[in-house]
Amino acid sequence: MSLKIKLPLVVSLLVLLSVAGVGYFLIRYEQNVLRGELARRGELLAKQLAGVDRVAFNLIARESEYLRLADSTLLFKRSSSSFEKERVLSAALSETVESPGVMEAVFFDWNGFPVLCLDAVNATRLREEIEDDDGPERVSLFQHPDSIHSVLGEPADGFTFTSPLLIGPDTLGFAQVRIDPSVLDRAIRDALMTVLPMLGGILGVSVLLSLLFSMFFTVPVSRLKKHALELSKGNLAARVKVRSRDELGLLGEVFNKMAHNLQRTYDEIQEKLVEIKRLFKMATEDGLTGLYVKRYFLELLAGELRRSIRYERPLSFLMCDVDYFKRINDTYGHPAGDVVLRSIARRLSVATREGIDIIGRYGGEEFAVMLPETDEETAWVIAERVRKAVGSEPISLDRIEGAGENRLTVAISVGITTVRGETSLDRLIATADRALYLAKENGRNRSAALALER
């Protein structure tokens, strides 16, 4: 048998074995990836379930413990508050179980005894009844703990995920989510249906290319490989010199066309990104001061307010207004007023904490400052610093035609309020606005603080 036949056969066999090996490891890798994704999803669901209202959980857990330890259930009476708290836990269980692939969600108390349990069979019915506030009967998952057969951390087959309910360093209980093992089997089967045809196509192309490679394409393919590697590393200017009109030459032309299309697409994407950033800036930033516009600032404030309430962290809010601003416009003209507003915006940015506090232009001459993780005392210090920074130096009007005076001293009044508990965005803004009004009534150029009404 001649070398012309032996070499192609040997190379084809090596390619076949290589593709088979790659296919095997690719399938195993896909299996591990899918299992890892399933584990991360299960852990995330368990953590989300563990974020349930601690007060509601503690009440139901103690009632469950009482029912478990009591001699008779006939003496056990539940309050309306108990039913409301159970409804909160039931809604969390229902939301978790309705997630794709979830078989069961369970709450356990601090001793590992089951409190409430919901499986996929009853999840839909429970959700419908919970959402029906006009229903004649209460929906209840509450039952004797001995009738719940779920065990904390079992079965330990990699599809049961548990997360503690913590209050500080103490464990109040546990949230457990059970994922259907068949989800992984279906995912692996779907992956195989995608990977196997791809491997078959790779094998066929590889055998064909190996025949050409074994004869006389070694050097040209090496050149093509070099440019392909450069392209994969981000060098979109990589091009192949086409020296023939055969299949390899065509491959080089296709490579060059692909690289050209990638370069063009990349340039188009960069242009669109620049345009998107420009439009986003136009939509969120005030053209005069460069601060956030009211609408976007309120979106940020609403999000921070939700976080403050959820994690029970302080949030302070300042409402600032330029004193006698109308007099400035009437006396020196609107261009001078614009210079004053820009100068105040810069001084506010300098006086607040970079990367922490958020400033927005709330109205014509009104500014708002959001102070995350800031208590009443610190908020007062920042408000005074802001107020003094605005009036620290006169504002130059040299470039304003007809302004008369070259330098103008301005002052602001500041209203302060701090969130420490459940409240609404409208109430927060209204309280800060009342505090600002109080500062104005007390003589302007001063700060005033009001506590939120509970």
> 97 near 178, Cβ under 8 Å?
no
- Return the SS3 of 367: strand
Give CA–CA dist 300/174, Å, rounded.
33
Give CA–CA dist 54/166, Å, rounded.
8
SS3 readout for 37-93: HHHHHHHHHHHHHHCCCHHHHHHHHHHHHHHHHCCCHHHCCCCHHHHHHHHHHHHHH
> 16: which 2 tokens?
């076949």
3-state class percentages of the chain: helix first, strand second, coil last, to nearest 5:
60, 15, 25
Catalytic residue list contains 365? yes
What crossing angle do the helices spanning 3-50 and 80-97 adopt, rounded to 10°?
170
Tell me how far the alpha carbon of residue 171 is from its chain's centroid.
27
Give CA–CA dist 364/360, Å, rounded.
11
> 324 near 437, Cβ under 8 Å?
no
Give CA–CA dist 93/123, Å, rounded.
8
β-pair partners for 165: 173
**Which phi and psi angles does 36 have, rounded to 5°?**
-65, -40
Give CA–CA dist 352/354, Å, rounded.
6
Cβ of 346: how many Cβ atoms within 10 Å? 15
> 252 near 240, Cβ under 8 Å?
yes
Q: Which of 365, 422, 441, 453 is catalytic?
A: 365
Give CA–CA dist 255/241, Å, rounded.
10
> 1: which 2 tokens?
């048998």
Residues identified as active-site: 365
